[in-house]
Structure 1
Amino acid sequence: MRDAYLIGAGQSDFGAFPDKSYLSLFRTAFENACESVSKEFDPVNVDEAYVGNLSIGGRQIGLPGPAATEHVGLHAIPSVRIENACAASGYGVRQAVQAVKSGMADVVLAGGTEVMNDLGDDRVRYWLGVSGEMEWERMAGTTFSGVFAQIASAHMAEYGTTREQLSHVAVKSHENGAKNPHAHLGHECSLEDAESAPTVADPLTLYHCCPMSDGAAVVLVASEEVIDEYDDDPIRIAGVGAASDGVGLFERNSYTAIPASETAVNQAYEDAGMGPDDIDFAEVHDCFSIAEIVAYEDLGFCERGEGGVFAERGATKLDGELPVNTSGGLKSKGHPIGATGASQVVEVFEQLHGRAGERQVENSQIALTHNIGGSGGAAVVHIFEKEGAA
C-alpha cells in the first residue's frame, strides 16, 4: 500500500463560545489547516472527508459531516460523520490514512467539531453520558468523573499511586497549556492548587479533570504520489493501530489499564517497525489525570504501576526524557469531544515542523498520538515520523 503523509493541520481556539456554531468553528480550523500547508494548497484537491462529532445537545445529529464540508466549500465530495465518542476524530484520521493507503484518494480531510457550552450543565451531562455504558453506568447515575475515580482508586490500591502524583500531571499540563494560545485553560496551576481544589469524585479534584470545551480541528493527509506538491519536509504517518473493548468499565478484565489502548499501540508499533523507546514526544488522552498515568503504562513508556512515579519525577515535562501533552492535553488545552483526536495531530504537525513556539521539543523526529473513546471502549494510536528520521 501507498505511504500516507501529514501535509497540514489547524484548529480553532478551544474554550467556551456559546455564541459560535459548530460550523463556524470548523471553518476556522479548516482555513488554518489549509494555510499551514508548506506549499500553495487549493482545497479543490480534497477528495473526501471524515468529520468527528458527538452532537452535544442533539444539534444536527444526521449529516453533520456533509453540513460541515459543504459549509467550507468542499462541494460534492464524499463526507462522513465519525462518532466514536471522544475518539471520533482520531478514528477520522485513521479513516483518512486508510483511504490514502488504499489508493481511493490522494488528499483527505480528517477533523472534528463540537459545541458543548451553549446548554445547561444537566443537559451537557446527559449528552456526555451517552458515551458510557447505558444500563449499569449511565442509567444508574454514574458520571465519567465517577468512572475515572474508580480507575484512580483501583490504581492507588494496587500500585500505591498517590493523589499528589495525579496533581503533578495537572501541574505539568497547565505549564504547557499556558504556552498554547489555543488552550481553553491557558494558565498555570501549582501543586497546592491541584491538591486543595474541590473534590469532584474522590480522589479526583477539579484540577484532575478536563474542561468541557467548544472547538474544532482539521488535518490534511496526502499520498506519496502527490506529497512533493505540498511539502518538501514531509511527515510520514508511519504506524496506525485501533481497537475496541467493553463500553462499561465493569465489562473489562482490569480497572487499572485500558486494554484497547494496549492493543492499538502494539498494532501501531508493529506497523511502524518501532517501539516506545523510539518516541520523542506524545499526545495522550488525559480527560482525567489518572487517564494520563494509565496511558504511560498502556503505551509502554514505563512499567505497569510506575506511571505515578514517572510523572512525579518529571519524566514527561517539556524538558523531560519523554515530553507528554506538550499542547496542554485535554486537561489544559481542552476537550471538545469530536475535535480532540484531530487536535492531538495538530500539535504533532506543529512540533515536527518546529512551529510550537515556547513549547517546542528540540530535535523531535517521531511522535505518537493516543485517543480513547468514553472510558476506553475504543482507542486509536498514530505514529508520525519526519522523513529521513533515523
Structure 2
Amino acid sequence: MERVAIIGASMTQFGERDAWIRDLLAAAGTEALADADIDASDLDHLYVSNMASGEFEGQTGVMNALAHDLGAVPAYTQRVDQTSASGGAGIYAAWQSIASGASEMTMLVGGEKMTHRSTAEATDVIASLTHPVEYKHGLTLPSFAGLVARRYLETHDAPRESLADIAVKNHRNGLDNPHAQFRKAVDRETVLSSPIVADPLRLYDFCPITDGSAALVFAPESVAEEVADEYVTVAGIGGATDTHVVHEREDPTTMRGVAESSRQAYEMADMDPTDVDFAELHDMFTILEVLQLEDLGFFEKGEGWRAASDGITHRDGELPVNTSGGLKSKGHPLGASGVAQVFELYRQLLGEAGDRQVAGDVGLACNVGGFGNCVTTTILEGPR
C-alpha cells in the first residue's frame, strides 16, 4: 500500500464568526487548494466533516454545496459525521480514499457554525449524542466530565491544581496561535476561582462554543513527489469505539477507544509512544488531556496528571502537547476540531508554526467523540 501524503492545509479564524457554514467551508477549502497549488477541478473526492449543520443552522447537503461553491464538480462528495470526532473520522475517510487507490487527489474540509445559538441550545444539540437512557436523566458531556474528574482525582490522589495547570498551559500556547479563539493567558488562581460548571470542574476547565473551519489535501506519495515541494505523510491511523452508555464501562477513567485506536496507529506506523515528538489531544475538558496521555501510552495509569504540573507537556518540555492551544484556547467547532489538530501537526512538521514552533519529526493527533464513544488517532511523519 502506497503511503498517503498531505500536500496542503488551511485553518480559518476560530471564534464567533459572522459567516454561515457554507461560507466557512468554502473559505477553508479555497485556502487549502491554494496551499497545495492545485485547482478544485483536480479533486476526485471531496469530504466534509460536520456534526450538526442541520440542527445548528437548518442547512443540510453541505458537501454538495461545497463542491458547487469551489467548482469541484463532478468530484464524489460525502459528509462525515462522527459527533465531536467528525474531523478525525473525516481524516480516516480521506486517507482510505487515497490508500485504496480510489482517488489521486482528495480534500477534506471540516467546519461547524455554533455561536449563533445560546449556550443552553448548543449544549442540548451536543448532548443529543449521548445514549437516550442517560440523556433523559439530564446528563450532558460537562456533567460526565465532572463525574469522571472527581473519580480520577480521588482514585489517584491527584491535586485539583493539576487540572488547572493544563488550562494555564494551553492558554499560554494559544497566545501564539493567530487562529485561536482565546489568545489570553490565565493563571492558576483565575482557573480555580472561576464559576463551577460541573464540580470539581470550573469554567476554565471547558472549551468554548466556536465557529470555524479547517481543510487538508491528500494525495499518494508518488503524486506528492511530483506536485509538492514539501509534504508530510500519514505514518499510521486507527479508529475505535467504546460503549455508548458510559456507566457500563468497567472504569470510566479509562478510554478504551483511545487505547485501541492508538494501538492500530502505532502498529501501522511501526512506532510506539516513545517515537512521538509532540501531540494534539482533544481537551474538550481538562481531564480529557490527562486520560488521553495515559491511554495513548505516554504515562502510566494514574500518572498523567503530573504532566503539565511538571512541565513535561509544556512547549519546551519533553513531550509538547497542544502547541496550538488545544480545544481549550483554540476553540472547538465540532466538525473542524480534528482537522485543525492535524493542521497544527502539518505546520509543525514543515517548520511553519512560527512562535509556537517545536522540534520533532513525528506528531500524533487524537480526536475524541462524545466521552470516548468514538476515537481516531493519526500519526504524521515529517519530510524525509
TM-score, normalization: structure 1? 0.96
Query: Do structure 1's residue 385 and structure 2's residue 381 form an aligned pair?
Result: yes
SS at match of 2:284: coil
Query: Do structure 1's residue 210 and structure 2's residue 207 form an aligned pair?
Result: yes
Moved more, 291-300 or 67-76: 67-76
Partners of 1:65 and 1:374 in 2: how far apart?
23
Moved more, 70-79 or 173-182: 70-79
User: Match for residue 197 of structure 1?
Assistant: 194
Question: Is contact 1:161-1:308 (8 Å) kept?
Answer: yes
User: Match for residue 95 of structure 2?
Assistant: 97
Partners of 2:83 and 2:329 in 1: how far apart?
19
User: Match for residue 331 of structure 1?
Assistant: 328
User: Match for residue 9 of structure 1?
Assistant: 9
For 1:379, the aligned partner's letter is: V
Question: Is contact 1:93-1:111 (8 Å) kept?
Answer: no
Q: How does 1:275-286 map to 2 (within 5 A)?
A: 275-286=272-283
Q: How does 1:186-265 map to 2 (within 5 A)?
A: 186-265=183-262
Give the one of 367, 372, 376 matched to 2:372.
376
Q: Report the alpha carbon displacement of residue 219 of structure 1 after superposing the two structures with TM.
A: 0.6
User: Match for residue 160 of structure 2?
Assistant: 163
Partners of 1:89 and 1:70 in 2: how far apart?
21
For 1:159, the aligned partner's letter is: H
CA RMSD after TM alignment: 1.3
User: Match for residue 34 of structure 2?
Assistant: 35
Over residues 237-272 of structure 1, what are the superposed CA-to-partner deviations in whole Å (9 max), with x where a residue is unaligned? 000111011122112221111110000000000000
Q: Report the alpha carbon displacement of residue 185 of structure 1 after superposing the two structures with TM.
A: 1.0
User: Match for residue 125 of structure 1?
Assistant: 123
User: Match for residue 69 of structure 1?
Assistant: 67
For 2:112, the aligned partner's letter is: E
Q: Unaligned stretches of 5+ in structure 1?
A: none
For 1:231, the aligned partner's letter is: A
Question: Is contact 1:248-1:375 (8 Å) kept?
Answer: no
Q: Report the alpha carbon displacement of residue 60 of structure 1 after superposing the two structures with TM.
A: 4.5
User: Match for residue 182 of structure 1?
Assistant: 179
Query: Do structure 1's residue 142 and structure 2's residue 142 form an aligned pair?
Result: no
Partners of 1:234 and 1:209 in 2: how far apart?
34
Q: Report the alpha carbon displacement of residue 157 of structure 1 after superposing the two structures with TM.
A: 1.7
User: Match for residue 26 of structure 1?
Assistant: 25
For 2:33, the aligned partner's letter is: C
Q: Report the alpha carbon displacement of residue 85 of structure 1 after superposing the two structures with TM.
A: 0.5
Partners of 1:178 and 1:159 in 2: how far apart?
32
Question: Is contact 1:293-1:311 (8 Å) kept?
Answer: no
Q: Report the alpha carbon displacement of residue 61 of structure 1 after superposing the two structures with TM.
A: 5.6
Partners of 2:302 and 2:333 in 1: how far apart?
30
User: Match for residue 289 of structure 1?
Assistant: 286
SS at match of 2:258: helix
How many residues are treated as equivalent by the alignment?
383
Partners of 1:35 and 1:313 in 2: how far apart?
41
For 1:360, the aligned partner's letter is: Q
TM-score, normalization: structure 2? 0.97
SS at match of 1:225: helix
Q: Unaligned stretches of 5+ in structure 2?
A: none
Moved more, 58-67 or 366-375: 58-67
Question: Is contact 1:63-1:80 (8 Å) kept?
Answer: no
Q: Report the alpha carbon displacement of residue 158 of structure 1 after superposing the two structures with TM.
A: 1.2
SS at match of 2:22: helix
SS at match of 1:34: helix
Over residues 23-53 of structure 1, what are the superposed CA-to-partner deviations in whole Å (9 max), with x where a residue is unaligned? 111122112212322xx32222111022111
For 1:7, the aligned partner's letter is: I
SS at match of 1:180: coil
Over residues 106-161 of structure 1, what are the superposed CA-to-partner deviations in whole Å (9 max), with x where a residue is unaligned? 1111121100011123321221111222222x221112110011110111121112
Query: Do structure 1's residue 366 and structure 2's residue 362 form an aligned pair?
Result: yes
Partners of 2:248 and 2:376 in 1: how far apart?
20
